[in-house]
């Protein structure tokens, strides 16, 4: 979705966060719930679905390929699927807006169906390379024509039957893994993905829940996921837990702003997603898990977070796959710690909605934070708990996570930080600013 009118936002500083909140449904799980339900035979019901622009782009794409998807007055989404192999030729190109997850996963889905689909996106998404997905899908027989640099717009000519492959991920990427598994659904035989480093496993958990024959073998060197093709997926009732990536902004905000004490309800704590919580606890953050439980096969808890003095650490590189989307807000936490935090092992940040390493380096640097940029991360010298200088207008580069991360930084700044455009936040967290106002007790009049 193109944002033609920038929406600047001046961050209200030095206001403690207090109260309780519920974050939106997990984005990764929401995407997959819609896709897998669209491939099941019968009606699935999804509650807690994230209703941000990225997930709505997935819903629109699945409708365009034949699934019947409706949101009820009870906030439950009902999906009547077409069955594995039943996707139809869409009448027009699929517009993905800013959603890289939608694009990469749907490319996999289309690759093993006898249809031809063109994918388009906004300026940010069109700058993101798709080559790492194109490579394995081409090995399976799909014919993919991309714009220069392997970018959107691109066309996928699916093939049926596709060729099952065993594919070793060259970099840790849940999106590439999921794209290959989705292609494998309508492929006879066994499709295998080998992960040298484990990534988020929502696809594996949910595919098994829908009835796919999927096994995971753990060895000392790797993780091997094997999927038997052409299953009959059965409809499910799915409850989407709260998104740990969205919760991450509040975990850091409450940790750095003096006087803060919040409870974030219903946060998904899948072991492949809690790298930020692990890193923050290593830094001394006060994060307590309340009422741990299991919802829809995923571990969930309420998190109480109170302001704490953070200490710099060397972030273990092996945490990168479990916190790749949270690095920008981790960089913010580091800006307020005592000492020099080094956070590396995150090459993937270079090819997100923006180059998140360069963009966060520029943003923090403009606010007076001392940093050193590396190819795979940043080293940041913190304030020891005091406010950062601030006083800058931040170029968010149409990246929702950059915008929200720098809002968090601005909550403890000596001079006002202004975000140049907060419109992209709607892609993943439409209620972010309403929640901010509630936790900080700001009104429109106060902010104005």
| CA separation, residue 276 to residues 203, 256, 316 (Å) | 21, 15, 11
CA–CA separation, 91 and 68 (whole Å):
16
pLDDT mean over 270-290: 97
In this structure, the answer to whether residues 50 and 177 fall within a common structural domain is yes
Q: Let me know: does 447 contact 12? Beta carbons within 8 Å.
A: yes
User: Can you name the residues that pair with 45 across neighbouring β-strands?
Assistant: 78, 237
- 375 lies in the same domain as 325: yes
Among the listed residues 54, 201, 325, 421, the single catalytic one is 325
pLDDT at 442: 65
Q: 323 in a domain, yes or no?
A: yes
pLDDT value at 1 more than 50: no
Furthest-apart CA atoms within the chain: distance in Å:
62
Is-catalytic flag, 355? no
Reduced to 3 states, what is the DSSP secondary structure of residue 119? strand
CA distance 411 to 104: 35
The mean per-residue pLDDT over the stretch 166-181 comes to 95
Cα–Cα distance between 151 and 445 in angstroms, integer? 44
Rounded CA separation 384/356 (Å): 24
| The pLDDT value given to residue 360 | 96
Asked if 190 and 270 sit in the same domain, the reply is no
Q: Find residue 47's DSSP bridge partners.
A: 239
- Give the model's pLDDT for residue 446: 43
3-class SS of residue 268 = strand
Angle among Cα 190, 35, 271 to the nearest 5 degrees reads 75
Range of the domain at 175: 27-239
- Looking at residue 115, its pLDDT comes to 98
Would you give the DSSP letter of residue 426? Answer: G
pLDDT, residue 404, reads: 98
Asked whether the predicted pLDDT for residue 350 surpasses 90, the reply is no
Burial of 170 (0-12, 13-18, 19+ CB in 10 A): exposed
Q: Are residue 17 and residue 31 in the same domain, yes or no?
A: no
Peptide bond into 153 cis (omega under 30): yes
pLDDT at 4: 64
Please report the pLDDT score of residue 214 as a whole number.
98
Has residue 130 got a pLDDT over 60?
yes
| CATH code of 185's domain | 3.65.10.10
- Domain membership of residue 3 (yes or no) is no
Does any domain span residue 2? no
> Which of these three, 207, 224, 239, is where a domain ends?
239
Task: Count how many domains the chain has.
Answer: 2
Per-residue pLDDT, 444: 44
d(CA 280, CA 286): 8
If asked whether residues 154 and 251 sit together in one domain, one would say: no
258 and 224 in a common domain: no
Which residues does the annotation place in the binding site for phosphoenolpyruvate?
27, 100, 128, 175, 356, 401
Residue after which a domain boundary falls, among 239, 271, 299: 239
- The answer to whether 212 touches 233, Cβ cutoff 8 Å, is yes
DSSP assignment, residue 64? H
Q: Is 103 contained in some domain?
A: yes
Domain co-membership, 399 together with 270 = yes
User: Do both 224 and 268 map to the same domain?
Assistant: no
Q: What was the pLDDT predicted at 292?
A: 97
Domain identity same for 202 and 253: no
> What confidence category does residue 21 fall into, taking pLDDT thresholds of 50, 70 and 90?
very high
Spatial CB neighbours of 147, under 8 Å, sequence gap ≥ 6: 126, 153, 154
207 and 78 fall within a common domain: yes
Residue 1 lies in a domain: no
- Convert the pLDDT of each residue in 200-225 to its tens digit: 999 999 999 999 999 999 999 999 99
Q: 18: pLDDT confidence band, cut at 50, 70 and 90? A: very high
Six-digit token pair at 356? 């998140």
Residue 283 lies in a domain: yes
Per the annotation, binding residues are: 27-28, 32, 100, 128, 173, 175, 325, 352, 356, 401
pLDDT at 325 over 50: yes
Known binding residues for 3-phosphoshikimate are 27-28, 32, 173, 175, 325, 352
Same domain flag for 98 and 246: no
Distances (CA, A) of 233 to 42, 185, 417: 9, 10, 49
What is the secondary structure of 312-369 as a DSSP string? --EE-GGGGGGTGGGHHHHHHHHHTSBSEEEE---GGGGGSSS-HHHHHHHHHHHTT-
Is 416 within the bounds of a domain?
yes
- Residue after which a domain boundary falls, among 222, 239, 256: 239
Q: Which residues contact 89 (CB under 8 A, 6 or more apart)?
A: 65, 115, 116, 117
Q: pLDDT for 213-265, tens place per residue?
A: 999 999 999 999 999 999 999 999 999 999 999 999 999 999 999 999 999 99
Cα gap 182→176, rounded to integer Å: 10
293 and 381 share a domain? yes
């Amino acid at each position: 979705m193109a944002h033609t009118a920038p929406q600047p936002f001046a961050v209200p500083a030095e206001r403690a966060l207090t109260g309780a909140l519920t974050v939106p449904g997990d984005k990764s799980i929401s995407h997959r719930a819609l896709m897998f339900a669209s491939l099941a035979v019968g009606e699935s019901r999804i509650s807690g679905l994230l209703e941000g622009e990225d997930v709505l782009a997935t819903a629109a794409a699945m409708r365009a390929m034949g699934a019947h998807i409706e949101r009820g007055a009870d906030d439950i989404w009902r999906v009547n699927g077409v069955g594995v192999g039943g996707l139809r030729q869409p009448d027009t190109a699929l517009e993905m807006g800013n959603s890289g997850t939608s694009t990469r996963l749907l490319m996999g889905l289309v690759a093993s169906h006898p249809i031809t689909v063109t994918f388009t996106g906004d300026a940010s998404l069109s700058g993101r390379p798709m080559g790492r997905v194109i490579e394995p899908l081409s090995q399976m027989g799909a014919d993919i024509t991309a714009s220069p640099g392997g970018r959107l717009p691109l066309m996928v000519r699916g093939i049926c039957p596709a060729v099952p492959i065993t594919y070793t991920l060259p970099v840790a990427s849940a999106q590439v893994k999921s794209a290959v598994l989705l292609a494998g659904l309508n492929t006879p035989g066994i499709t295998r993905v080998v992960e040298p480093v484990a990534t988020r496993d929502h696809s594996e958990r949910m595919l098994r829940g829908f009835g796919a024959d999927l096994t995971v073998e753990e060895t000392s060197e790797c993780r091997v996921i094997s999927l038997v093709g052409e299953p009959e997926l059965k409809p499910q009732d799915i409850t989407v837990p709260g998104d740990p990536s969205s919760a991450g902004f509040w975990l850091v905000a409450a940790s750095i702003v003096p006087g803060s004490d919040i409870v974030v309800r219903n946060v998904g704590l899948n072991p492949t997603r809690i790298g930020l919580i692990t890193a923050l606890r290593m830094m001394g953050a006060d994060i307590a898990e309340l009422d741990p439980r299991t919802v829809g096969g995923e571990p969930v808890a309420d998190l109480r977070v109170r302001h704490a003095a953070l200490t710099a650490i060397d972030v273990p590189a092996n945490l990168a796959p479990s916190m790749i989307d949270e690095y920008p807000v981790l960089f913010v936490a580091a800006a307020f710690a005592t000492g020099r935090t080094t956070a590396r092992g995150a090459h993937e940040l270079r090819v997100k909605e923006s180059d998140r390493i360069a963009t966060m380096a520029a943003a923090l640097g403009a606010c007076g934070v001392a940093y050193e940029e590396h190819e795979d991360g940043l080293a940041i010298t913190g304030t020891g708990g005091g406010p950062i200088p601030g006083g800058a207008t931040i170029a968010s580069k149409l990246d929702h996570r950059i915008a929200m991360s720098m809002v968090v930084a601005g909550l403890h700044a000596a001079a006002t930080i202004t975000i140049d455009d907060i419109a992209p936040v709607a892609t993943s967290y439409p209620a972010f600013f309403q929640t901010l106002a509630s936790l900080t007790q700001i009104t429109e009049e106060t902010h104005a």
